[in-house]
Chain A
Amino acid sequence: MKALEVKDLYKNYSRWRGKTTKAVDGVSFSVEEGEIVGFLGPNGAGKTTTIKCICGLIEPNSGDINIFGIDAVSDTRKAVENTSAVLEGNRNIYWRLTTRENLEFFAGLHGRSKKETKSEMDKLLERFDLKEKEDTSARKLSRGMQQKLALACALIRGTDLLLLDEPTLGLDVKTSKELRRFVMQLAVDKGKTILLSSHDMNVVEDVCERVIIINDGKVLADDKVRNLKRLFDVHLYDFILRGKPSLDEIEEYHEVIDVRYENNKTRLKVSLKDSGSFYRLIDHLRDSGMELEKVENLDTHLEEIFMNIVEEELGG
């Protein structure tokens, strides 16, 4: 069963003198039950607007949104029964309430009593390392803890669909990794359906099986991460050369990602589309009299795929 289905979603904002800004321009996608899908796009791509349309906080101009078969545009309240969201990181919680009071309040806001959620609450506190801080005001928690609490508050609502808008924004590496691990476990252990938007490619790549890439309000790609990697079969190589090559000629035929000179050695990171490009570069280096010390094939990351897709779109 489809947990979420978005079809031909449009959202324009009227500006002065009749001008309009297209925030979401015909977005369509669906998410199966128990799936974790990444929602990737640069600033202003339309991710947050789409997520807010899904949970009824923004009214779309047109389009259909179905949450577990319920029309979320016409019957928002019913659809929201099975939806929770973490919007904009550590906001979403009451800073004057303690950790436990926040959990109790948000459980209650979804009609779940303290008695009903007691053991679940304890597990969440343990899981997020918040047990020791359960009686501490949320404003006294670190940013990472506040974000963990915001996620816990969304979870305690007991909904099957979870919308996470930039959940790791502003977190240190350790906390971000913890949170990613936890999000993955949610889908595996609890069968939750998660739509996760993030700027951070590492987060999406780590957590999501499928990714929807959005830019200028349009979906540019919607596929499994591994398929996208195959589709954009870009190979990254790290060359270590003795001496200093002439970059102009290399850049004419190959995409140079990074160049560093150190101790009379050059570290050249290039993106090559196929094996032909690889041999051409080797020939070129040999003809230029460069001595090759080491070559390393690097893994393709979602970041490169993302850049390729967005650049292709911009290039028309």
Chain B
Amino acid sequence: MKEHIIFYSVVKKHFIELRRYFLNTLMTISGVFILFLLVFMGLRSFEAGTETLKGSIIGFAMWTFAVGAYSEMSWGLLQEARDGTLEQLYLTPSSFRRISGYRVFASFLFQFVLFIVFLIIMMVTTGQYLYLDPGIIVLVGLTLLSVYGIGYVMGGLSLVFKKVQAANQILMFMFILFLVLPTITDHKIIYFVPISWGNVLLNKMMVDGLSLFDLTLVEHAILILNSFAYLVLGLIVFRFMENIAKKRGLLGHY
């Protein structure tokens, strides 16, 4: 079996679809950018410090990234079920979990480019400049694993329960809470919830100018454990829900 061909096909399809929906993507980004400007101006009117302003740029960019990544998993699956193509993705000599992994990879590539472009536009617009060390790719990637894990959980739930949009919207607001949490509290909870600790480390790199190697081993370990725990949990829940969907004959339903 030629797994590389399957990988290439899935990634290529993802980018073709993005291109077809370019205008829609552009308008969504513009909407998020306007929202960011409003928040930023609000913060400035409260005479927030430079660190807070810079933190808001990172937080906003991360939130956009997280929502995009999460939607790819949960909303993407629902869309496939609704269009009737989900069952076709199971008819492959590869496995559906691998196929969704390739989709995650394609989505990450696109979202990362968007993240950087978004950061640059925000920096230029606000005049608040951040350090853009190449190491942030690793940090953002690791941080996002937890989001993909939650995406797998919700994707699995949507295979069985179908209507999970309300939970999706709640989670989008939860991501804001997780990103803001380190600015509110020093409590150890930030080690356990998704994306909070990653955001703390990103601030260290992009605001304080540290490199990936300046971060301590413990700081790295917390992020890796947190992210992989969510990803593994997501995959386990997804597999469990997938089995239920197969037992109940729900894969193709919407």
Contacts and interface: CB of A to CB of B under 8 A. Distances in A.
Are A and B part of the same complex?
Answer: yes
Interface of A: 11, 13-14, 23, 49, 52, 55-59, 77-78, 80-81, 83-85, 87-88, 91-97, 101, 104-113, 137, 153, 157
Given A83-B91, A88-B84, A106-B88, A112 B247 contact: no
A192 to B, nearest CB: 16
B85 interface: yes
9 contacts: A57-B90, A57-B251, A59-B243, A91-B85, A93-B85, A94-B17, A108-B6, A109-B88, A111-B3
Nearest to A81: B93
B89 to A, nearest CB: 7
A112 B16 contact: no
A110 B13 contact: no
Given A94-B85, A97-B16, A97-B17, A55 B9 contact: no
A274 B243 CA distance: 53
Given A96-B16, A96-B21, 17 more contacts: A52-B87, A52-B249, A59-B247, A80-B93, A85-B91, A87-B88, A91-B83, A94-B17, A94-B83, A97-B16, A108-B8, A109-B88, A109-B94, A110-B93, A111-B2, A111-B6, A112-B2
Nearest to B244: A59
Interface residues of B, number: 34
A111 B6 CA distance: 5
A151 to B, nearest CB: 13
Contacts, number: 109
B25 interface: no
B85 A49 contact: no
A109 B252 CA distance: 18
Nearest to A102: B13
Interface in B1-31: 1-3, 5-6, 8-10, 12-13, 16-17, 20-21
A57 B89 CA distance: 10
| A-B pairs, 10 with minimum CB distance | A91-B84, A108-B9, A111-B2, A81-B93, A59-B246, A58-B249, A109-B92, A111-B5, A111-B1, A105-B13
B91 A113 contact: no
A192 B88 CA distance: 19
Interface of B: 1-3, 5-6, 8-10, 12-13, 16-17, 20-21, 83-85, 87-95, 99, 243, 246-249, 251-252
B47 to A, nearest CB: 47
Contacts of A81: 1, 93
Nearest to B95: A77
Contacts of B88: 85, 87, 92, 106, 109, 153
B92 A80 contact: yes
Contacts of A113: 2, 5
A55 B1 CA distance: 18
Contacts of A59: 243, 246-247
